[in-house]
Every structure is written in structure tokens, then in C-alpha cells.
Amino acid sequence: MYLIDRVSNKIKKIKQMTFSELGFKERGHLQEWLEGNPEALGEELLIIQKEFSGFNDTNERLDLLALDKKGNAVIIENKLDDTGKDVTWQALKYASYCSTLTKEQIRNIYQQYLDKQAKGEEATNKLVEFFNNTEYEELTINHSQSQRLILVAGSFRKEVTSTVLWLLNYKIKMQCFKATPFALDDQLFLTLEQIIPTKDAEDYTISMVDKAQEDLSTREELKTRHHIRLEFWSKLIPKIKGKATIFQNSSPSKDHWISSGGTGISGLSYNFIITKSYVSVELAISKSDTLANKQVFDELKKFETEITNDFGNTLSWERLNNKKMCRVSYYLEGVNLFEKADWDRMMNFLIENMIKLENAMKEPLKKVKRKLNEKEDAE
């Protein structure tokens, strides 16, 4: 790895190091880095516990326990400069232990983790936020045979890579990340490279995982609430066709929301929301970076008066300071998705106000986009 010096038009070698040479430890450093920045593993993960030892009849403890966006439990095992030869067996044991955890047990485990951080946060609320504001009682977490394993180390022994590749053939969901530190003068750098599956192999492996998820989803859709949502969306979506520029390619879903692009800004979407107590239309600001979301929200709020006048009603401006996303919403309360007598009123509200929301936001969003582009150019 080299550093490009634009001034001198030269490159300078960045020296590859080992964690031991730099004095870094597995638990005190590598584990802490991943706990604080799990997205370094290439996806959005929710860390729910570290050094977890809540298994019956054993004193073993896993490094990090997380959830992914599909509700799968993710066991993350860290080794420093060398995996050792038994890490796969160790990780598989932890996956088997975690496979029996119920949703309520996971919530309690996460609450214990949050309590240690002394921030006064509620696990239920954090889980709802992570899973796109799906109501807690409707969350499906850690379903059968869905556990994933992530191994992180400076180098992997052949005993490990051979075993992992073999397990992948049996649809055991495993990934190996090579963690490499680098040094340049007083600066230190870290790369996390997924080495198993390789990209080509990952494409094939993901297709198997998707098939498993499809099977799980099909079973879930047998539940009444999913059938009702599918029926509701199947009736609503044709009604908005041709009346707006958004939601023209949307399909019915079992979820309680449907999203559409058309905002002109990456990470922003228009959402329909349906629940058993209210429905709403919203502009969701959900970029991967929290600060970027707050900046977009603050810029857009400068046009609140203009947007309110164009929309015709007072919107709910929700900056959500303790959460990653922000949103601007308009609600209709006192209706129930599971009461079909409410459906006409709900659909009329959603379609009418989504069209108004899109029209009211169109010009302000263009102005916000220009402002953001000017700021990026200035930097």
C-alpha cells in the first residue's frame, strides 16, 4: 500500500505491520474497534453484547454478538495475528449455543449491554429503530438455522480456510476478514478485507442465502398480518399509478411500509406507513452517516414555511437526535389496518397526502441538493 503525495507527485510506501509489533491486543483493541464500528465489516450490524457468556453449563464466552438487518444472529470471533487451528470449532459451538436464544432473551441480552453503557437507552426502542421502525411484537429475530459467523484475524491457517470453504457448501453462513495494520510515520491504518467467500464465490453463496430467506419469508407470510398487508398494498398501489411520479414501480409487500425514490438525493426516500393505530406519509432521511442525515434535515427545515404552505397542513418535523435517521411526516391516527372498514379512508389519506408531499418537497429538495453539492465542492 502506498500514499499518494499530490504536491510532490510521488508515492510513499505504507509499511505493513502486525498487531503484536504495534502492541495491540485482541480484546483491548481489535474487539473495541469492531464494537464501535461494525460497519467496517461491510454491512450495517447492531452489536448487542460483547464478551457474552450467558450460556448454560459452560464458561465459554464469544467476542461480539450482533444482529443483521434480516434479524439473523451474527457471531463475531476475533483473533489477532493468527487464527489458531480451532477457531472454526469454537465459532460453531457459539452458533449452536445462540441458536436457542428467543427474541425476548435477545432483547434482555441487549438491554444488559445498553445498561453497561449507562446511557439510559431502551433495547426495545433500539431494536425497533434498527429494523426500520417495525413494531417490536412483529419482529422476527434469530429464526431457526439462520445464525451467521464472522471470523476476523491478521492471518488464517489452512486448517481454518479449508474448513470454512467446506462448511459454505453446506449453507453454513460464514465470512473471513483479514485485518491488517499499516504504519506511516506516526500514523496507523487498518484494512479489513473479506477473503472468504471471495467476491465470485460470495455471489453464489448469497444466492443460496437468499433462497433460504425466501423460504422463511414464505412461511411468515402465512400469518394473517402479512396476508392483510399484502392485500392492502395490492389495492393501494394501482390507485396511485399515474397520479404521481413516485411509487410507479412499487410492488405489494408483507412489510408495514413501502418506499420509493424520486427525491433526487441519495439516502432519501418517500414512505407509506401502515400500522394498527395510524397511517402516515413521510420523507425519510436515512443515509448511512448520522451527521449527514442531521445536516440534510437542518437544511431542509429552513424551507419549513414554504413546504407547509404548499402542503396545506402542518407536518411533523422529526430530527430524532438520538437516532441515525430523520423524517418529515404527516399522520392519520385512529385507524386500524386490521379493520377493513378503515381501508378506504386510509388509502385516500395516503394517496392524497403523498402527492401533496412530493409536490411540496420537490423544489426545496433541489435547493438542498445544490447546497450540499456547493459544500462538497468547497471542501
pTM of the model: 0.61
Q: What confidence tier does 1 reach under pLDDT thresholds 50, 70, 90?
A: confident
* pLDDT beyond 70 at 204: no
pLDDT, tens digit, 9 for 90 and up, residues 115-167? 998 888 999 999 999 999 888 988 999 987 889 999 999 999 999 999 999 99
* pLDDT beyond 90 at 203: no
pLDDT, tens digit, 9 for 90 and up, residues 318-336? 999 989 999 999 999 999 9
Amino acid occupying residue 302: K
Contact between 258 and 351 under an 8 Å Cβ cutoff? The reply is no
* pLDDT beyond 60 at 30: yes
The structural domains of the chain, ordered by start, are 2-220 (3.40.1350.10), 224-378 (3.30.1460)
pLDDT, tens digit, 9 for 90 and up, residues 333-371? 999 999 999 999 999 999 999 999 999 999 999 999 998
What is the per-residue pLDDT for 68?
A: 96
What is the per-residue pLDDT for 171?
A: 86
What is the per-residue pLDDT for 145?
A: 81
What is the per-residue pLDDT for 283?
A: 97
pLDDT, tens digit, 9 for 90 and up, residues 56-68? 777 788 999 999 9
As a whole number of angstroms, the distance between CA 220 and CA 226 comes to 7
What average pLDDT does the chain have? 90
Q: Is 112 exposed, middle or buried (0-12, 13-18, 19+ CB in 10 A)?
A: middle
What is the per-residue pLDDT for 122?
A: 95
User: In sequence order, what are the residues at sequence separation of 6 or more whose Cβ sits closer than 8 angstroms to the Cβ of residue 159?
Assistant: 85, 88
Q: What confidence tier does 218 reach under pLDDT thresholds 50, 70, 90?
A: very low
Of 34-43, 118-127, 368-377, which range is least confident? 368-377
* pLDDT beyond 70 at 233: yes
